[in-house]
Every structure is written in C-alpha cells, then in structure tokens.
Chains A and B, each alone.
Chain A
Amino acid sequence: KQEVTQIPAALSVPEGENLVLNCSFTDSAIYNLQWFRQDPGKGLTSLLLIQSSQREQTSGRLNASLDKSSGRSTLYIAASQPGDSATYLCAANSGGGADGLTFGKGTHLIIQP
C-alpha cells in the first residue's frame, strides 16, 4: 500500500525567502506525482504534475522535482510571498485498480510579511 509523508508539517518563514517542501513515498511504481495547494475552507488546486518519466516541472516561481528511485519529491518556492501562505499537499498516483491519489497530510506554510 502506497504511503506518502510530508516534512515539515508546518513552516513559517519571512517574505522573500526561498524554501523547500519535502514529500516521500514508499512505492516507486507511480504514474505521476502531483502537488496541490489548499487554502483554508477551500478545495484543492493543482500546482504541478510530474510524470514518472520526468525529473522536474516548473511553473512560475514553483519548481517540483521527482526522484522515483529514492521515493522523493521536492517543491521549491522561490522568493516567497504572503499570498503563498496555504497548505501544500503532495499526492502519488499509483494507478492500478483504484486509479485514485494517495495524499500526504500536507505542509502548512505561513509567509510572514
């Protein structure tokens, strides 16, 4: 059974800092690895999706990497802004019969103005 772990559970940094959020997964047989953002009381918004054949994906100030062999992914946020404050979730798509995502518990990020 796939298990996804996110470290740290919470992070508070001053505005302008570059930061890294970590995600690890136990089963390397994945279709893709996805990063989502969740604002309080809201649904999830997809940020980046990395296919199993890819090493990284970039969108604006966000860069996500994937190392399947070690079961790790990182989300790099450059020049953080207060608007980046949210919970960030990573999810592994292992495909197969369930065709659903296995989520980590998230990293709650606060960017101090």
Chain B
Amino acid sequence: NAGVTQTPKFQVLKTGQSMTLQCAQDMNHNSMYWYRQDPGMGLRLIYYSASEGTTDKGEVPNGYNVSRLNKREFSLRLESAAPSQTSVYFCASRRGGAGTDTQYFGPGTRLTVL
C-alpha cells in the first residue's frame, strides 16, 4: 500500500518553462488536494478536487492549473513558471464526506524556479 505518491521529487526550472507535477493515491479516496509550503508562510491550499470530475480553487490558485485525470490521479501544471513558484508542493487525499476524516500527504516535490 503506497498511499500518496508524487513525482518528481525534485525539479529545477527556468523562468517561463512549464511542467506538470503528478500525484496518485491508491486508497480509493474521493477528495484530493494540492498545497504549497513556503518558509514563514506555512502550507496553503492551491486547488482541490472534492470528487472525480470536479476541481475548485483554493487560497493561492494563480499561475496553476489542475486535472483530476481519474479517481486515483490529480496533476498540477505550471504553464509558465516564475521564481515566486519556488516552493515545496504537497499532494494530499481524503476519503471524503463532511470533513470528518484526516488527509494523507505525499512526500512532496521540491521545485526551484531560476
């Protein structure tokens, strides 16, 4: 049981390049989330998907797009990377329901934009 997996683990981009961060969960969870973690800012929600086929903006969605490819996979895309997007990105999943259960987090992707 792998839980939540993320690829890649590390990435360095130049300003203006694009990339997609991949996330998959094998727990048959309905809800999935993307967060970013910055020093002094804590974790902030970028986008979330309450169920397969739906996505919604979180606190800091600008500069990102997401795709809920199927129930297992939720990807985050940076179309034109900026230095301000240098961060650690975490994917999480939750079984679902009225917020009664915990979120399970992946190991993170460390992204540097030069």
Contact = CB atoms under 8 A, between A and B. Distances in A.
Contacts, number: 63
B42 A45 contact: no
A103 B42 CA distance: 6
A36 B103 CA distance: 10
Given A44-B90, A44-B105, A89-B43, A98 B59 contact: yes
B99 interface: yes
B102 A46 contact: yes
A49 B105 contact: no
A106 B37 CA distance: 11
A49 B90 CA distance: 20
B102 A43 contact: no
B25 to A, nearest CB: 12
Interface string A48-91: 01010000000000000000000000000000000000000101
Given A31-B99, A42-B108, A105-B42, 7 more contacts: A32-B99, A44-B90, A89-B43, A98-B45, A99-B31, A99-B48, A103-B42
Interface of A: 4, 31-32, 34, 36, 41-46, 49, 51, 89, 91, 93, 95, 97-101, 103-106
